[in-house]
Amino acid sequence: MLTIALPKGSLLEDSIQLLKDVGLDFSAFLESGNRQLQILDPTNTAKGLLVRAQDVPVYVEYGQAQIGIVGYDVLREKSPNVAHLADLKFGGCRLSVAVKDTSPYRRSLDIPPHSRVASKSVRCAREHFNALDLPVEIVPLYGSVELGPITGMSEAIVDLVSTGRTLRENGLIEIDVLFESTARLVAHPLSYRIGSDGITQLVDRLRDRVSCFASIQN
């Protein structure tokens, strides 16, 4: 039986809808009273695991799930040993550097050396500033990163931005975009290579569905 790791949070609803479009129904995960973390599709051909978004590639890499849906930002941050199969074209956002709107800094290179930069995406933030040859202290935060500059703990943040509303409401502005992120389909490399449990057919159906939807949008 094929096991699929699904991400809690903002990507879940679209992930479930995409799978439903190709014949697999895990919509029970969306029911308010449901506390199950593992459910079977009604066809009994696949099992869904509901996991923290950052843990999706871990479950796939270690073989507890053959495929998973996860944001590109998580893949960049964790760099797991998984097969990247498709851009699913939803969950669009960007990883950006932001500062207070009263700050004189308007690009990453304006930030003084040895400043503090708060981020959940520690690895990506460090890679960005290392590439600029700008030494900064990356401060790991896993709650409201926006509070870093507001409280004066950090000069800047590196955080995911979708509409930018949260930044604006907290008096912050973007000054650089590290990369764009969307939901991605990933697989356990060996499972995908040998095509176990119908994984190849499912991946083909998902790719076709994404291509069809993209054509309609265009």
CATH code of 110's domain: 3.40.190.10
Strand-pairing partners, residue 45, are: none
Q: Whole-prediction pTM value?
A: 0.92
The reply to whether 107 and 122 lie within a common domain is: yes
pLDDT at 98 exceeding the cut of 90: yes
Position 124 confidence tier, pLDDT thresholds 50, 70, 90 = very high
Position 196 confidence tier, pLDDT thresholds 50, 70, 90 = confident
Q: HSE-up of 158 (CA within 13 Å, CB side)?
A: 28
pLDDT in tens, 86-96: 999 999 999 99
Residues constituting the chain: 218
What's the rounded Cα separation, in Å, for the pair 46 and 23? 10
Amino acid type, 41: D
Following CA atoms 67, 120, 93, 152 in sequence, which dihedral angle do they give, to the nearest 10 degrees? Answer: 170
Rounded to 5 degrees, φ, ψ at 202 are -65, -45
The reply to whether 169 and 110 lie within a common domain is: yes
Structural domain span for residue 13: 2-91+182-217
Query: Across residues 181-207, what is the average pLDDT?
Result: 94
Contacts of 208 (CB under 8 A, 6+ apart): none
The reply to whether 17 and 79 lie within a common domain is: yes
pLDDT in tens, 140-163: 999 899 999 999 999 999 999 999
The reply to whether 145 and 213 lie within a common domain is: no
Position 180 confidence tier, pLDDT thresholds 50, 70, 90 = very high
The reply to whether 66 and 100 lie within a common domain is: no
Structure confidence at residue 214 (pLDDT) = 65
Provide, rounded to the nearest whole percent, the portion of the chain with pLDDT above 90.
90
The reply to whether 76 and 132 lie within a common domain is: no
Give residue for tokens 């708060």. Answer: 118
Query: Across residues 69-77, what is the average pLDDT?
Result: 97
Q: How far apart are the first and last CA of the chain?
A: 36
Structure confidence at residue 215 (pLDDT) = 63
DSSP letters, the chain, are -EEEEEESSTTHHHHHHHHHHTT---GGGG-TT---SEEE-TTSSEEEEEE-GGGHHHHHHTTS-SEEEEEHHHHHHH--S-EEEEE---S-EEEEEEEETT-S--SGGGSPTT-EEEES-HHHHHHHHHHTT---EEEE--S-TTHHHHHTS-SEEEEEESSSHHHHHTTEEEEEEEEEE-EEEEE-HHHHHHTGGGHHHHHHHHHHHHHHHHHHH-
Tokens of 188: 């356990």
Query: Across residues 158-187, what is the average pLDDT?
Result: 97
The reply to whether 29 and 72 lie within a common domain is: yes
The reply to whether 117 and 175 lie within a common domain is: yes
Position 106 confidence tier, pLDDT thresholds 50, 70, 90 = very high
The reply to whether 64 and 130 lie within a common domain is: no
What's the rounded Cα separation, in Å, for the pair 199 and 192? 6
pLDDT at 121 exceeding the cut of 60: yes
pLDDT in tens, 23-63: 999 999 999 888 999 999 998 889 999 999 999 999 999 99
Closest to 138 measured CA to CA, from 161, 152, 151, 157: 157
User: How many domains are contained in the chain?
Assistant: 2
pLDDT at 216 exceeding the cut of 80: no
The reply to whether 171 and 112 lie within a common domain is: yes
pLDDT at 218 exceeding the cut of 60: no
Query: What mean pLDDT is reported for the chain?
Result: 95
The reply to whether 80 and 186 lie within a common domain is: yes
